[in-house]
Chain A
């Protein structure tokens, strides 16, 4: 189960960490299981209030330099990220 969830979360759990992690997560989940004892239904359905939208007008951003500062590499003035289609490394 932990392996399956780790795969969904895009994490790798080393074999040697599995027993301890499984034990910790099982304890946390059994604590969370106390929620099963709450049988009462709320007066209203839980819902997030609607998110208001801001006016659709352009505002100045932080500028190109600020964005480029985080790009691992620049290629022809564009941020370059690893190739994600086609599989192989460029």
Chain B
């Protein structure tokens, strides 16, 4: 036992160091806890640091390694977005309505990480019920961007992104409904990956919009994302929407390169009014792919500009239905039970924050008698057209590249009173969500103000191996300077 790797170390290097007993999981977790102690005062990435349980988990991992078990994530500290069940911890979705909720056990994603030796250092801050793009809609207050603490870290998985970017943990889990892994990853200069819809079990993930929600990793690099994804992916009898499609070997695909790969640059991303730095970053990505040997061409998704409008109908409608279960009867604080109706109304009114209420109202309206076809029906038809656009596009290209964020991270408070402008932050991430495609954000460059930008790569459903090959090649070419941790 010599020197423990700093928590800024990668997932792969930490797992190898612990597996080969160059250091112990116990030492790794102490380093992570020390980094959290030092840095989280300024960032507020954590809702709770679970030091005691993390130390116990690390001890367990050390025993398993000593007994000769081979663990893909041996001793790797993870930060978990607070909408996933971890046995023995609370799950609150950063909402007052779930205060004190204790899940009955691990969700499937957590159980799979645990089986491979992961250690859970804490619950990460998020926008309440994953509704937001800035982590400002948390009942516990916002998280700050480690590159510039006057700015938002993105959202809704902003706590996980800030924790990983600042070196408090090498990996985090997030959930992505319209961009909630990719957008904060781009804002914080790290990698964020949303797998194909159906790849990762949502058992133990508190539902927001069930036709869109997907769990995925936030990591410091592409190889780490592939490692975590390999552990997470695969059919689960507890989530009947998971696919039995073979996962393949995403890690082996990493070094395939992009020679001959057909890379489509999204035509609709090159619109007037796009931040000039983002536009230049996309032009650079096009050049880097070309230099790496890819065949680069333009590709059009004609319905992409309508994606935000489709999304806010579909996701809000599903949310209004999913969140109907929070009624003061089974979960959280209970208000005014003088009648059943007042119990529902008062518990929900006190328990949900403003953005969650806004989306519930929007979704309830879109599904209500007289408006259903004009809103929900129309949005579902437009979603189908968007799917067809992607099907057509993928006949001519293997992957599609576009920016992840339309501008670098904005200042805290800048958009809180203007929900529509906030929604437009997700303009580039929502199309892949609606189409169920795998998509990854790779940090690309720094803006003039020293803030990260990200390039997003999309692939056809279940083509994660191709996606990882393209992402790794781009990462290598882009030479993004990570935050000095």
**Residues of chain A at the chain B interface (Cβ within 8 Å):** 1-2, 5-6, 8-13, 21, 24-25, 27-29, 31-36, 38, 40-46, 48, 51-55, 59, 61-63, 66-67, 69-70, 72, 81-82, 84, 87, 89
Contact = CB atoms under 8 A, between A and B. Distances in A.
Contacts of A1: 365
A32 B337 CA distance: 37
A45 B381 CA distance: 7
A72 B385 CA distance: 47
B348 A11 contact: yes
Contact of A38 (B303, B343, B345, B349): B303
Given A5-B364, A11-B360, A12-B346, A40 B334 contact: no
Given A25-B365, A66-B103, A82-B337, 16 more contacts: A12-B345, A12-B346, A21-B361, A24-B419, A27-B420, A29-B362, A34-B309, A38-B303, A41-B381, A43-B388, A55-B237, A62-B105, A66-B102, A70-B330, A70-B331, A84-B340
Given A34-B309, A35-B306, A61-B104, A2 B361 contact: yes
B474 interface: no
A57 B367 CA distance: 36
Contacts of B303: 38
A72 B378 CA distance: 42
B63 to A, nearest CB: 24
The dominant DSSP class at the B interface is: helix
Contacts of B362: 25, 28-29
B358 A25 contact: yes
A38 B361 contact: no
A62 B104 contact: yes
B368 A10 contact: no
A87 B274 CA distance: 57
Contacts of B380: 46
Contacts of A54: 237, 240
A66 B105 contact: yes
Contacts of B382: 35, 38
A35 B361 contact: no
B420 A10 contact: no
B17 interface: no
Contacts of A6: 361
A32 B240 contact: no
B211 A81 contact: no
A81 B320 contact: no
Chain B CB count within 10 A is highest, among A5, A10, A55, A81, for: A10
A32 B358 contact: no
Interface in B340-394: 340-341, 343-346, 348-349, 352, 357-358, 360-362, 364-365, 368, 375, 378-385, 387-388
B384 A44 contact: yes
Nearest to B320: A9
B329 A53 contact: no
Given A41-B381, A61-B104, A32 B329 contact: no
A11 B104 contact: no
Contact of A32 (B103, B313, B339): B313
A85 to B, nearest CB: 9
Contacts of A31: 308-309, 312, 420
A28 B104 CA distance: 38
Contacts of A34: 306, 309
Interface in B312-338: 312-313, 320, 324, 327, 329-331, 334, 337-338
A36 B102 contact: no
B355 to A, nearest CB: 10
A38 B305 CA distance: 11
A66 B240 CA distance: 23
A62 B388 CA distance: 42
A11 B352 contact: yes
